[in-house]
Amino acid sequence: MSESGAEAAGEQAVDQEAVELAHTLFDAAREGNTELLRGYLNAGAPATLTNAAGDSLVMLAAYHGHADTVQLVLHHGGDANAANDRGQTPLAGAAFKGYVDVARVLIDAGADPDAGQPSAREAAQMFARTEILELLG
């Protein structure tokens, strides 16, 4: 194999490792595996990582009801207002699913209840999430 061929093979291996790491991080956020995620974030993994649909680690943790995981990612620089490719925000996801504890964490972090489509306020109204509506003020 030529030197440039070896370099290309090495780059492909690194790229594959990066993809596998990203999947590990997305799964950890989705599953609420806060300790695993903490280790990677403490080691420098980006808290703003997004998947192919634009879902951030915050979005995945929020949508699946993991308040502690949301808090961790926010602490490491995740964005409480980062909308995915469909214009949905983590707070709207929490409102849709009825996760009051997650909504509280996001609101405390400055999440905008009127951002996104539908907004968290609209989602809470549509699905009669009265406790979340009260949090939104």
Q: Catalogue all structural domains in the chain, each as residue range(s) with its CATH number.
A: 3-136 (1.25.40.20)
Determine the pLDDT at residue 5: 60
pLDDT of 132 > 80? The answer is yes
Residue 15: pLDDT band by 50, 70, 90 thresholds? Answer: confident
pTM for this entry:
0.88
Average pLDDT over residues 119-134: 97
Cis-peptide into 113, omega within 30 deg: no
pLDDT tens column, 59-105: 999 999 999 999 999 999 999 999 999 999 999 999 999 999 999 99
Rounded Cα distance, 94 and 25, in Å = 20
pLDDT of 37 > 70? The answer is yes
Q: How far is CA 12 from CA 23, 43, 50, in A?
A: 17, 23, 21
Greater pLDDT, 12 or 134: 134
pLDDT of 9 > 60? The answer is no
